[in-house]
Amino acid sequence: MQQNQDRSTFVGLILIAILFILYSTFLERSKPAVSEHFPNDSTAVENISTDIDSSASANNIAEDSVSDGDSTSIKTIPQGPFLQSSIEEEFYTIEDENFKLVFSNKGGRIYKAELKNYVTYDSLPLILIDGANNEFNYNFGLGTQNVSTQDFVFDVESSDEQSIVYRLYTDSTKTQYIEQNYRLSETEYMLDYDYKMVGFDEKLANGKSLVLTWKNEMFKQEKDFKMEQNNTTIYFKENQEDVDYCTCTEDVKKDLSAKVDWISYKQQFFNTTLIADNSFYRADLDIHAPKSTELVEDKMVVEVAKAELGFEYTKKAEFSFPMKFYIGPNEYKRLNALDNDMEELVPLGWGIFGWVNKLIILPMFNLLHNFISNYGIIILVLTVVIKLVLFPLTARSYKSFAKMNVLKPEIEAIKEKHKDPQKVQQETMKLYGKTGVNPLGGCLPQMLQFPILIAMYRFFPSSIELRQEQFLWADDLSSYDSIMSLPFEIPFYGDHVSLFCLLSAISSMLYMRLNSQMTPSAGGAGAAQMKMMQYLMPIMLLFFFNSFSAGLTFYFFLSNIISFGQQYAIKNYFIDEEAIHKQLQSNKKKPVKKSKFQEKLQKMMEEQQAQKQRLQQGSKDAGNTGSNATSKRKGGTNRQKPKKRKK
C-alpha cells in the first residue's frame, strides 16, 4: 500500500506543480522585456512637451509643471473654426472624500486624478491620471477642416465644488458650441460626464463621424514593478458579451467592431474606466510598455494605454452622448455593485476557481474582517477554517491509503507468484475488488481540494484589502516579504529573500520527510521517487513563489503545518489498521459487487493481457516457423551421400 500511497502522493505533488505553472502561464499576459536598471535622474524629463499632432493646426502649446489654481500663459492661439475668449490655460479642482480631480480648460479635460484614501508603495500621493502627455480629444470633420478639441481652450460656463461645465463656441452669437459637463456622482469614485454638440445639425450629417482619442500613462504604484506590469492592461465589455482584456501591443492593436459598453485602463489594484450610457459603436485599443523606462515628474511609467472610440452622431439641434468615469480601487464588492460586470477586473480566476473565490473565500474573508482588524490573523483563521472544512476529505484519503497498506503483504505475495507486471496488476485489482478497496479513493479527495488551492493562489495577489497591510516582518501582504536584498539577481528567483516563502519550502520538506517516517518504507523505485520529491518540491516552491504575495506564502506555510498536525492526529487517533484488516478480510467472504468503473478497468486489463498473450504466441509461432524452415534448408543441402559398397 505504501508504495501506492507514495506514488499517489508523488503524482499529486507533480500535478499541483504543473497546475500552478500552467495556470499562471495561461493567465499571465505576454509583456515586453522590462529594463532591469531604472534611472533615478529626473533632469531628462523636467520639460514636458504638450505638442499636439494635428493636421488642422501647426501651433504647439508649451506648458510648465502645473499645481492647482495656477495658470500658464499660452504662447499662441490655435487657428480654427472656434472662438476663444481666453489665451491662458487654467486649472480647476472638484473633489470629495474619495478623490481630487483637476481639470484643464485646454481641451476641457481631466488633467489630474488623485485618490485621497490611498498612497503609493513609497507613501506618495496616488495619481491615476496626470500630465500633459495624456490625451482626451474629440476628432471630427467640420467643413474642410479636421477638428481636434484638445487644440482649443474652452470657456468655463459654470463651476462649483462638485461640478464644472466647459463650452467652446463657434462665434460671438454663442448659438453653436461644444459642451463638456462634469459633475460628481452619488456613487463613490464615479464622475458623471456629458458631451454635447449644440447647433451643429446644419454642419454635420448623421453618421459615424465622431472619434474620441483617450490616452493615459499609467504610473508605478506598487513595490513589485514586474508584477504590477503583468497585471496592467485594457479591459473592455462588448455589448451583450463577457468581459475581456487586451493582449495587444504597440505593434498589434485590438480592433473591436461591435458595440462597447466600457473601456477600462486597469492596473494591479486600481482602474480608470470610461462607461458609455449608449455604447460606443467601435473601439481600437493599444497598450504597450515604454521601450525605455520613462519618468514624468519622477514617476515611472508602467504602461501607456490608448483607445480610439467611435460614436454615432445624430443630426439634431442638441446632440448629447452621456458617459461616466470610474476612477478608483479594484474592490470586488464595490465594482460588483455597479451592475455592469466591472467586478471582472479583479482576477479571481476562471471557471470553478473563480466560483470558489466568489462564493466561499471572499464571503469568509469579509465576515472575518468584521471581527478581526489584523489581516495576518484573518489569514491564520481562514486557513484553520478551510483545513477543518476539508478535514473529512483528508481523513477519507488517509483511510483509503491505510486500507491499501494492510493489503501490502498480499500484494507482495502476488508479485512473488507472478513475474508479469500486467498479471500482477490484474491480480491486484481482483484483490481490491474482493476486499472492497477503491485504489483511487485516496487520490479523489485530494483532487477535490485543488480548486480551493488554486483559488487561494489567485485570491491573495488580487485582494486590494491586503495592499500595504503589515504583519510581522512583511510590510505589504499583497507583495513579497523581503528580509534580505541580494546584490545580484538569480534567474527565476529574484534579487531578494522572502522569509515566508523560505518557511513554506522548509515546512514542505519537513512535512514530506516526517510523513515518510510515519509510514512503512515502500522501498525500490517508490522510495527513490519520494526522496527526490522531498528536495525537488521545496526548491520549486522557492523559485516559483519568492516574488509572490506574502499573504499567499504565509497561507501555504500555515497550511503545511496544519496538514502535518491533521495527519498525525488521523494516524494516531482515527485509524485502527488492525480493525481495517479484519474488515477487509471479512469483505472477502461477501459476494463481490463491483462498480462500473472497476468492471471497465478489469475488462480493459484482461483485454490487454489477452492481446499480450496473442502477441507472444504469434512471436513464438513465427520463431518456430523460422526454425523449422532453417532446419529444412539445412537438411536439403547437407544430406550425407550414400557410402560406396566395398567390392
pLDDT of res. 609: 66
pLDDT at 376 over 50: yes
pLDDT of res. 634: 52
pLDDT of res. 517: 54
pLDDT at 450 over 50: yes
Instruction: Kindly state the DSSP code that residue 358 receives in the 8-state scheme.
Output: I
pLDDT at 43 over 50: no
Q: Are residues 336 and 368 in the same domain?
A: no
Q: Are residues 180 and 225 in the same domain?
A: yes
Q: Are residues 319 and 203 in the same domain?
A: yes
First vs last C-alpha separation in the chain? 84
134 vs 617, more confident? 134
Q: Is residue 246 part of a domain?
A: yes
Q: Are residues 279 and 381 in the same domain?
A: no
In three-state secondary structure terms, 324 is strand
Q: Is residue 35 part of a domain?
A: no
Q: Point out the domain boundary residue: 311, 346, 381.
A: 346
Q: Are residues 184 and 254 in the same domain?
A: yes
Q: Are 93 and 103 in contact (CB under 8 A)?
A: yes
Order of strands, sheet of 109-119, starting from the edge strand that comes earlier in the sequence: 71-73, 88-95, 99-104, 109-119, 125-130
Q: Are residues 264 and 369 in the same domain?
A: no
Q: What is the pLDDT of residues 500-513, one digit of tens each?
A: 989 988 888 887 77
Most confident of 324-333, 389-398, 437-446, 620-629: 324-333
Q: Is residue 16 part of a domain?
A: no
Q: How confident is the model at residue 246 (pLDDT cuts 50, 70, 90)?
A: confident
Kindly give the residue spans of alpha helices, DSSP state H, lying in 299-449: 332-336, 351-356, 362-369, 375-389, 391-406, 408-417, 421-435, 443-448
* Chain position carrying cell 484482461: 606
Most confident of 7-21, 248-262, 436-450, 456-470: 456-470
pLDDT of res. 75: 39
Q: What is the pLDDT of residues 206-227, one digit of tens each?
A: 877 789 999 999 999 999 888 8
Number of neighbours of residue 335 by Cβ within 10 angstroms: 23
Backbone angles phi, psi at 172, to 5 degrees: -75, -15
Q: Point out the domain boundary residue: 346, 372, 398.
A: 346
Q: Can you tell me the mean pLDDT for 401-416?
A: 78
Distance in angstroms (rounded) separating the CA atoms of residues 415 and 427: 9
Q: Are residues 512 and 552 in the same domain?
A: yes
Q: Mean pLDDT in the chain?
A: 77
Q: Are 59 and 79 in contact (CB under 8 A)?
A: yes
Q: Are 300 and 293 in contact (CB under 8 A)?
A: yes
Q: Are 155 and 168 in contact (CB under 8 A)?
A: yes
Rg (CA), the chain: 35
Distance in angstroms (rounded) separating the CA atoms of residues 437 and 430: 10
Helices 2-27 and 524-545 meet at what angle, rounded to 10?
A: 30
Give me the residues paired with residue 93 across strands. Answer: 102
CATH code: domain of residue 168: 2.70.98.90
Q: Is residue 274 part of a domain?
A: yes
Q: Is residue 559 part of a domain?
A: yes
Helices 550-569 and 524-545 meet at what angle, rounded to 10?
A: 150
Percentage of the chain modeled with pLDDT above 70: 71
pLDDT of res. 96: 93
Q: What angle do CA 389, 391, 393 make, to 5 degrees?
A: 105
Q: Point out the domain boundary residue: 550, 578, 606.
A: 578
Q: Are residues 269 and 363 in the same domain?
A: no
Q: Is residue 60 part of a domain?
A: no
Q: Are 27 and 347 in contact (CB under 8 A)?
A: yes
Q: Are residues 221 and 342 in the same domain?
A: yes
Q: What angle do CA 412, 413, 418 make, to 5 degrees?
A: 100
pLDDT at 514 over 90: no
Q: Are residues 386 and 499 in the same domain?
A: yes
pLDDT at 267 over 90: yes
Task: Report how many domains make up the chain.
Answer: 2
Task: Give just the sign of the alpha carbon dihedral 490, 493, 494, 496.
Answer: negative
Q: Are residues 309 and 226 in the same domain?
A: yes
pLDDT of res. 283: 93
Task: Give just the sign of the alpha carbon dihedral 178, 184, 187, 190.
Answer: positive
The dihedral region occupied by 293, where left means phi > 0, alpha psi between -120 and 50, and beta the remainder, is: beta
Q: Are 291 and 34 in contact (CB under 8 A)?
A: no
pLDDT at 371 over 50: yes
Q: Are residues 477 and 555 in the same domain?
A: yes
Q: What is the pLDDT of residues 71-119, one digit of tens each?
A: 443 333 445 677 776 668 899 999 999 999 999 999 999 999 999 999 9
Distance in angstroms (rounded) separating the CA atoms of residues 613 and 597: 24
pLDDT at 273 over 90: yes
Q: Is residue 247 part of a domain?
A: yes
Q: Is residue 466 part of a domain?
A: yes
Say which range, 324-328, 474-478, 593-597, has the weakest mean pLDDT.
593-597
Q: What 3 state SS string does 289-323 have?
A: CCCCCCEECCEEEEEEEEEEEEEEECCCCEEEEEE
pLDDT of res. 470: 92
Distance in angstroms (rounded) separating the CA atoms of residues 604 and 610: 10
Q: Is 305 exposed, middle or buried (0-12, 13-18, 19+ CB in 10 A)?
A: buried
Read off the amino acid at residue 438.
N
**Full domain range(s) for residue 364:** 354-390+449-578
